[in-house]
Structure 1
Amino acid sequence: MSHSDVTAPELSTEASAQIISVASPLPGRLIPLSEVPDPVFAKGLVGGGAAIIPDDDAGVITAVAPLDGKVVKVMPHAYIVQHASGPAVLVHVGIDTVRLKGEGFTVIAQKGEQVRAGDPMITVDVTLVRSKDLSMCSPVVILDSAADAIEAPASGGRVEAGARLFDLPGR
């Protein structure tokens, strides 16, 4: 078979329609939501997902879009990207970081903008956040999904920004 095999594009289109991969917005250590130091996230009240803890020596890092879609909300410490097929993913950079009122964060993306997985969304000064005694544990959650919507990742694995974090459950 050659590259002109007509069945290949059809198969890949079907597969991409069924599986939506969510990319890690940050580099760091992966933990299940149940280990997030915030009961709202830990109990899955916002939705199912996973969390990333940036490395101890992380300085200023860029958080990226977790999937292709539209930016429906962007704040210095959190953002939501909604896929064209409906599901929306919340990235919350750190715990209680809303208290910083934007200090240590720079917003790059704009509400209403179309983004692709891996596009820069915000930057965060991890050292500054930690100097304020706040956790950099960053939940990545499928909004309005069941707490067990995805298989919880094993604690301690490493992930790079833009690398596959988990797949959205079939709709």
Structure 2
Amino acid sequence: MTLRVASPVSGRVVPLTEVPDPVFAQAMVGPGVAVEPDRGRADVVSPVDGTVVTLHPHAFVVATSEGAAVLVHLGIDTVKRKGEGFTLHVVKGEAVRAGQPVVTWDPAEVEAAGFAPICPVIALDAAPEVVLDQAGGPVAAGDALFSWQR
């Protein structure tokens, strides 16, 4: 089975190695890609159909009915903001569809506060070789970001 993972934000696709955090850059939590988001207030959408199993203002995980879990992390070290600048639209345990708004944020505001707004999108507990067909260049929220061979 192949799972289509959509981009949670609009922006420019970059390799994980460009994320200024070794945990993501070295794929310690799993393979994936990152998106350098367009600046300006925007909705962050679910990358897959599933259930919100982890929810913080700056990060969330959606698990599919088949057990695949995708992490979306909004910026680096943004946990230090304690939720400031993030508006949640769902609750933990809620079923979501790919493309459904989960959080609203402003990457320019995050950047102005001294944090990198880059967004890692990670296939949790996956081997590197299962992430295929990675998008390149610009993407819109909801566009295919990568395929996860399961």
Q: CA deviation at 1:147?
A: 3.7
C-alpha displacement of 1:127: 2.0
1:46 to 29, 45, 59: 29
Secondary structure at 2:103 match in 1: strand
Q: Distance in 1 between matches of 2:58 and 2:130?
A: 24
Query: What is the distance in 1 between the residues matched to 2:64 and 2:135?
Result: 26
Whether contact under 8 Å (1:49, 1:152) holds in the other structure is no
Matches within 5 A, 1:17-166: 18-55=1-38, 58-151=39-132, 153=134, 157-166=137-146
1:11 matched residue in structure 2? none
Looking at structure 1, the residues matched to 86 and 134 of structure 2 have their Cα atoms a distance apart, in angstroms, of 27
Secondary structure at the aligned position of 1:71 is classed as strand
Matched residue, 1:12: none
The question of whether the paired residues in 1 share the 8 Å contact of 2:9 and 2:43 is answered with: yes
In structure 2, what is the Cα distance between the partners aligned to 1:117 and 1:154?
Answer: 17
TM-score w.r.t. the length of structure 2 is 0.95
User: What amino acid is aligned across from residue 164 of structure 1 in structure 2?
Assistant: A
Q: CA RMSD in A?
A: 1.4
Question: Hey, what does 1:5 align to over in structure 2?
Answer: none
Task: State whether residues 132 and 149 of structure 2, in contact with CA within 8 Å, keep that contact through their aligned partners in structure 1.
Answer: no
Q: Which amino acid counterpart does residue 113 of structure 2 have in structure 1?
A: K
Mind listing any 5+ residue stretches in structure 2 that lack a counterpart? none
1:20-44 Cα shifts (integer Å, max 9, x gaps): 1000000000011111111000101
For structure 1, the 5+ residue unaligned runs are: 1-17
Q: TM-score, normalised by structure 1?
A: 0.83
Structure with the larger strand share: 2
Rg larger in 1 or in 2?
A: 1
